[in-house]
């Protein structure tokens, strides 16, 4: 008769199935679906699931493995893989992720460092660089470079276009932003037209 007794509730049941039913229904029993451990309240159970299983507390869902859970956290809850923080939107997450990137793009005009080529070029275009270069001169230099045949736009309203997918841009910084984004497959290898332009530029500011 000993197995029909619930110790936690100090209650006797007249069959094993009645005891099972009690454990399922009582708020004093909270069973983990993954390992059958029994917890005294809902919070303890959730804490356990988070710590010991691949479990999303927000969605109350178990996942097959770590990788599945992480994929879910990233796509559904905008989690940053690097630091594990959550964000309210995908664009907030993307902005935040810039803070993890190293500033290793040097401005040829003032030796300040930037996270992306487009940020460095924008800095030159907007005239914030000590070297005093502005948008007009940056655009001029872009056309003086022999590689400009690969990135000059054939459209009247635009100066530049992507060598890979022909999307047009007003400014070279915009083109670099596009090429460095996931939207474009153009690579920035050492011999690519845009990298040649960057070397051309660095000798002239």
Write down the least CB distance from residue 167 to Zn ion, Å. Answer: 5
3-state helix, strand, coil split of the chain in percent (to 5) is 40, 10, 45
Query: How many angstroms separate the CA atoms of 39 and 37, rounded?
Result: 7
CA 60 → CA 56, 100, 148, distances in Å? 6, 30, 55
- For Zn ion, which residue of 121, 122, 129, 142 counts as binding (CB under 5 A)? 129
Estimate to the nearest angstrom the gap between the alpha carbon of 57 and the chain centroid.
21
Asked if residue 134 lies in contact with residue 146, where contact means CB atoms within 8 angstroms, the answer is: no
Query: How many angstroms separate the CA atoms of 136 and 38, rounded?
Result: 71
User: What is the total count of residues that contact Zn ion (CB under 5 A)?
Assistant: 23
Asked if residue 147 lies in contact with residue 197, where contact means CB atoms within 8 angstroms, the answer is: yes
- For Zn ion, which residue of 5, 9, 12, 17 counts as binding (CB under 5 A)? 9
Asked if residue 186 lies in contact with residue 192, where contact means CB atoms within 8 angstroms, the answer is: yes
Query: Looking at 39-47, 141-149, 176-184, 190-198, which segment touches Zn ion (CB under 5 A)?
Result: 176-184
CA 41 → CA 25, 36, 50, distances in Å? 13, 14, 15
State whether residue 105 is helix, strand or coil. strand
Determine if 109 is a binding residue for Zn ion (CB under 5 A). yes
Per-position x/- string for 57-96, each x denoting binding to Zn ion as judged by CB under 5 A, each - no binding: -xx----------------x---x-xx-------------
Determine if 34 is a binding residue for Zn ion (CB under 5 A). yes
Write down the least CB distance from residue 199 to Zn ion, Å. Answer: 16
Query: Looking at 63-71, 132-140, 147-155, 160-168, which segment touches Zn ion (CB under 5 A)?
Result: 160-168
- For Zn ion, which residue of 162, 172, 194, 201 counts as binding (CB under 5 A)? 162
Write down the least CB distance from residue 144 to Zn ion, Å. Answer: 19
Write down the least CB distance from residue 145 to Zn ion, Å. Answer: 18
- For Zn ion, which residue of 93, 107, 141, 194 counts as binding (CB under 5 A)? 107
Both tokens of 137, joined, read 């001169």
Residues that bind Zn ion (CB under 5 A): 6, 8-9, 32, 34-35, 37, 56, 58-59, 76, 80, 82-83, 107, 109-110, 129, 162, 164-165, 184, 186
């Amino acid at each position: 008769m000993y197995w029909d007794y619930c110790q936690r509730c100090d209650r006797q049941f007249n069959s094993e199935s009645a005891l099972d039913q009690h454990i399922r229904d009582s708020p004093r029993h909270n069973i983990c679906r993954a390992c059958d451990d029994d917890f005294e309240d809902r919070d303890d159970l959730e804490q356990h699931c988070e710590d010991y299983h691949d479990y999303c507390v927000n969605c109350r869902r178990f996942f097959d493995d770590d990788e599945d859970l992480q994929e879910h956290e990233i796509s559904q809850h905008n989690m940053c893989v690097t630091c594990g923080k959550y964000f309210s939107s995908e664009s907030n997450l993307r902005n935040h992720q810039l803070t993890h990137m190293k500033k290793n793009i040097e401005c040829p005009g003032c030796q300040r460092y930037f996270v992306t080529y487009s940020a460095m070029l924008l800095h030159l275009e907007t005239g914030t660089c000590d070297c005093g270069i502005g948008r007009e001169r940056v655009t001029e230099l872009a056309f003086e470079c022999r590689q400009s045949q690969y990135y000059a736009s054939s459209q009247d309203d635009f100066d530049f276009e992507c060598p890979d997918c022909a999307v047009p841009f007003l400014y070279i910084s915009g083109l670099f932003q596009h090429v460095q984004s996931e939207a474009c497959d153009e690579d920035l290898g050492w011999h690519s037209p845009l990298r040649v332009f960057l070397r051309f530029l660095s000798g002239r500011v």
